[in-house]
Structures are given as C-alpha cells and as structure tokens.
Structure 1
Amino acid sequence: MSNQSVSTLINPQNGNLAFKLLSFDDNSHFDHIQRNNYFSLIWITKGKGTIKADFAEHHFNADSLLAFSPYQPFMICTKEDIQGIAIHFHPDFYCILKHQKEVSCNGVLFNNVYQPPFTAVTDQAKATFQMVIDQIKTELQNTAIAQYELLISYLKIFLITATRLKTDQSEEPKPLPDSKEPFILQNLKDAIEDNFKTKHSAGHYAELLNISPKALAKLSKNYFNKTLTDLIAERIIIEAKRELYMTNKTVKEIAYELGYDDEHYFSRFFKTNADVSPQLYRETIGFGRMV
C-alpha cells in the first residue's frame, strides 16, 4: 500500500512548478535520469543505494540528504525500496545564487564539484528537518496571506541546517602518513579556481602543479571519483550557469569570458555537459525570468 503524497505550488505566470513537497516509499521517481529545471533536496530516510550524478557514482545509506541543481543529471539506483521526502523548488520561487548571503549553500550543498552530492543526516538535524517539513505540509494546505513568505522562511531553515551539517562533515581526505596528497589536492582545487577560465585541459594543471598527468589523473579519480577533465568541465559549466542565471550578458560574451572564442563550440560544450543549450537554460531558469 503506497503512502506517497505530493503537494505542489504552480507559478501562475507560466504554469511551471514553483515549489513541491513529495513523500515517497519507492524509487520510481528517481530510477531514471533526472534533468529538472529546479533545485532538489531529497532526504532518504530508509534504504540505501547508489547515486549516479554528473560523471561519478556514489554510495549512500539511510538518512542521507541529496542535493541537486537545475539541469544537473542524476539517477538513484537501489536494490531495495527507499523511503523519504523530497523538496523541489524553482529559482523563480527561491534563487540560491541571487540570495547567496542569506543561506550560503551555493558551493556547499549545491555546485560543489569536489564532494559527493549528499550529506549524512544526524539525529539533531533529523529533528529539525522533520519539524520544518511538518510546518511546510501545514502551510501548503493553507492559502492564507503571506503563504509564500512563510514557505521561504521554512525553506531557508532547511537549507541553513543542511549547509551547516555539510560544512561540519567536509574534511579533506586522510592519506597515508607523510603523504603529499592533501597538499597536491588543495593546490589542484586552487589551480582550477584560479585558471578554469583560461586553462581547459588536464595537461595544463599537471604542468602548473609540476606533477605527471598520469599521477594527477589517478589522484583526481581516487579522491573526487571524477577525471580531471570532468572536474574542469563542471567548474566551467557552474560559472556559465551563474552568468546565465544572474546577468544579461549574451552567450557570446559569457563564452569569451570563459576562454572560448567560438560561441558555437562553447554552446555545444555547454549542451554536452548540461544537457540543455545555454539559451534554453536562460529562458527556463535564468536572467530573463527574474527581471
């Protein structure tokens, strides 16, 4: 007997999903590739399995919180039923980039290419999440004045709690004694942050760090579960999405700022990695929809 339930708010201006709360007791919602134009927070309360997200696979257990950005491809694979609650919200409803200072979750919960897209939920966080979800359920049944403002407040509490949790759990890998690996990994992250707009190949970073491409590729795969090329590509895409979200720059201008002289090549690169064209991305969640 299924006890799945769903409450959805629709944006009256365009008919698209604005906010959605979903309770689920199997994996039917997530057993195929998702490419949604909204943010997703998925709290797995029972069960375990594997997340396929972007270019990597990660194993998760019960009481894991999964977080995905718009158009980030993901899929949950399980051999047993899972139970949980999902919160979906469109950037028109609440944009974490536009309001970054309020919750500071961008780069922690979302858009973090270096860590798995999930967080272990502690007993204390579990109590907070459940309280917030109960409040959201009640408010979704109430069309009284200031419903939007209350839902945003509850969503912020959820996001801030999750962000603090993820920050507390974010530790650098623990390598063998006397290993130089943490130093190299941090240097790699810094090098990508400093140079992703101008250096797009794995060889550039091996040269910058004075390490063989093969050794750097092995480190990237071992610790980030992704190839170095994938790390670089994801970082470029995150920046491109941010520009499409937040500015009225043309795709050509954004491409040039990210080191691509050929707008069409950049558009193909973006679509390969985001599964949607830059223009369609902007039209569905970007600048043009927030002005």
Structure 2
Amino acid sequence: MSQPTDFPLHELPPVRFMASGSGLAFGEHAPSHRISFFAIVWFTESAGTHLIDFESFPIRANEVFLLGPNQVHSIPAPELPGSRTIVFAHEVFDRIDEPHLRQLFLPFENTGIRIPEEMVAPLTHIFDLILLECNGAADVTLLLKYTTALLTHLYRFGRHDRRIGEDHRLVKLFQLMQEHYRQEKSAAFYARQIGLTPKRINELLREKMGTTVSKLLYRLMLIEAKRELYHQQHSVKEIAYGLGFSDQSYFARFFKKQTGLTPEEFRSGVRVAK
C-alpha cells in the first residue's frame, strides 16, 4: 500500500494564457493534480480513460473537456495521449462576455463534447491561430476572440440544455454557489443575490434541470469533500468543519448517503488505488 501523498497543484507560470499542441500546458505527467486555472483539453487520439473529480471518462479522438479551478484530473495511462490544450487565468475567463460560454466550465457536468467530423478541420484552424498568437505577440484580447469562437462552436455541439445557458439568472446562481457553498446553504441567500424568491429559483431549477438549490449545494459539497479526502492534508473533522458541517458525524452520514462509503473508506480506497 502506498503511503499518503499530496497531489500537486498545477498553476500557470506568470502568464495569463497558454496553448500547446502536445498537452504539455496541462499538468503533463502528474498522475493526479488539482488545477488553479481554466482548461480546454481537446484529445486528438483515443487512448484509455481519464478521471475528472474521480469520475471516469473515455479518451476519444476529437472529444473536448472543459475544466475549471480546483478540479482534480488524472490520466492513469503511462503516457499522455495526443491533445491540443488551452489554459488561461481567472482574469481572462472573467472577460468572456457570454454567460452561456462561461457555463461550460461549471463542475456540474464534466462529459466531453464531441466535435463532428466535418468540423475538425475548421476548429483545428482556429486552434492553430491561437497557437500562432501565443508564440508571437500573445495579445490577450485577440486570443480571447479566437477562444470565444472555439467555445461558441463547442457550445453548439454540446449535449447540455441550452435553456440553462441562455438564462443569465441560472448562470449567475451557479457562479454564486461555487463561491459561497461552504458558508451559505439556504436558497434564500442566493435568491436575494439575483432578485428572485427562493420558491422561484427552485421552480426554475426543477423546470430546466430537475433539481433544487439544496441538491446542487450537496453536489458541490460532495465534490469538494472527495477532493479534500484525496488530498489528505486535513483530517476528516477539519474537512467537515471546512465545508460548513456542524460536526463530523453529520458530515460522515452525508458522505455515506451520497457515496455508500464512509469518509475513511473513501480515503483508504483512493490511497490503495495510487
């Protein structure tokens, strides 16, 4: 059995935007890592599987995955599959004007987006323009325009519900939940921030996603709990309090109900799997 080890945090060097045709801009050979930036990963060959926040996805040629800060990513295979990768900082992400494009990076849905065969060549040309600019003047304004064009096509190809992305209230809700879910657990808090009643927010979520504010908060807490348990820097008690639970036993019951495992069993399982 391997000894507990921390997985590395991959951060951008002192630049705001990077692109690579070899995948080296994206945490290269680390078996598991947490990222501090936004990433677009376009696999160019099929090769096994990879994991995003402990959920397994097949690696298929011309399938794209979009990741946000704090997500944990790993590729079990000994070598990286071919990929085209774009990574950028928060300040670049914040300049994306279209809420439905920012929605693509939310952690609620990590499924890859398949590029239709007839669009592989056109999108490759867009990526090549991004790569050319990165290796030249690196004008962030121009890079943002190219990246927005790429994201717009990916949004068209995706299987997500477009009604969500086109409703700025829900996009704002998701962003607020990501920022405040540790401290704020009530629908009333989020309702006040976007000018709706708690009842209306939940009506919108049930209509468009079949869920509620509470269920989405539980999902965010579960994702972060798994990350923290895997990270192994904090005790179960510290994780529980950090996520806003009143005591460790309440957190343990919540975690087991959602996963079928106690926090200790989950931590031991991922340790063995290393």
Range class of TM-score, shorter chain = 0.5 to 0.7
**Which one of 101, 126, 129 corresponds to residue 105 of structure 1?**
101
Cα drift, residue 17 of structure 1? 3.3
Cα drift, residue 106 of structure 1? 3.5
Cα drift, residue 40 of structure 1? 0.8
1:19-71 superposed Cα distances (whole Å, 9 cap, x missing partner): 11112279981551121211111111113221211131122321111211111
* Distance of aligned partners of 1:125 and 1:77 in 2 relative to their CA distance in 1, 3 Å threshold: farther
**Which one of 121, 125, 143 corresponds to residue 115 of structure 2?**
121
Alpha-carbon distance in structure 1 between the residues aligned to 2:15 and 2:149:
21
Structure (1 or 2) with the greater helix fraction: 2
Alpha-carbon distance in structure 1 between the residues aligned to 2:45 and 2:28:
15
1:135 lines up with 2:129 in the alignment? yes
1:174-219 superposed Cα distances (whole Å, 9 cap, x missing partner): xxxxxxxxxxxx789533x332488x5xxxxxxxxxxxxxxxxxxx
Cα drift, residue 16 of structure 1? 2.7
* Distance of aligned partners of 1:100 and 1:233 in 2 relative to their CA distance in 1, 3 Å threshold: farther
Contact between 2:101 and 2:152, CA under 8 Å: does it hold in 1? yes
Alignment of 1:1-291 (within 5 A): 16-24=14-22, 29-78=28-77, 82-92=81-91, 94-95=92-93, 98=94, 101-102=97-98, 104-107=100-103, 109-113=104-108, 115-143=109-137, 147-167=139-159, 189-191=209-211, 193-196=212-215, 200=218, 233-234=222-223
TM-score by length of 2: 0.53
Structure 1 residue runs of 5 or longer lacking an equivalent are: 1-9, 171-185, 201-229, 238-254, 270-291
What amino acid is aligned across from residue 64 of structure 1 in structure 2?
E
1:89-147 superposed Cα distances (whole Å, 9 cap, x missing partner): 1112x22xx4565261234x32242x443111212331232111111122223328xx2
Alpha-carbon distance in structure 2 between the residues aligned to 1:135 and 1:154:
7
Alpha-carbon distance in structure 2 between the residues aligned to 1:40 and 1:25:
11
Alpha-carbon distance in structure 1 between the residues aligned to 2:124 and 2:76:
25
Alpha-carbon distance in structure 1 between the residues aligned to 2:105 and 2:155:
9
Q: Percent identity?
A: 20
* Distance of aligned partners of 1:83 and 1:197 in 2 relative to their CA distance in 1, 3 Å threshold: closer
SS in 1 for 2:126: helix
Alpha-carbon distance in structure 1 between the residues aligned to 2:161 and 2:116:
11
RMSD: 4.1
Contact between 1:34 and 1:75, CA under 8 Å: does it hold in 2? yes
* Distance of aligned partners of 1:163 and 1:103 in 2 relative to their CA distance in 1, 3 Å threshold: farther
Alpha-carbon distance in structure 1 between the residues aligned to 2:150 and 2:120:
10
Contact between 1:68 and 1:117, CA under 8 Å: does it hold in 2? no
Aligned length: 181
1:205-264 superposed Cα distances (whole Å, 9 cap, x missing partner): xxxxxxxxxxxxxxxxxxxxxxxxx56634999xxxxxxxxxxxxxxxxx9xx97679xx
TM-score by length of 1: 0.50
Alpha-carbon distance in structure 1 between the residues aligned to 2:101 and 2:222:
21
Alpha-carbon distance in structure 1 between the residues aligned to 2:137 and 2:97:
29
Q: Which has the higher contact order (CA 8 A, sep 6+)?
A: 2
* Distance of aligned partners of 1:104 and 1:59 in 2 relative to their CA distance in 1, 3 Å threshold: same
* Distance of aligned partners of 1:25 and 1:91 in 2 relative to their CA distance in 1, 3 Å threshold: closer
SS in 2 for 1:24: coil
Structure 2 residue runs of 5 or longer lacking an equivalent are: 1-10, 163-205, 227-240, 255-274
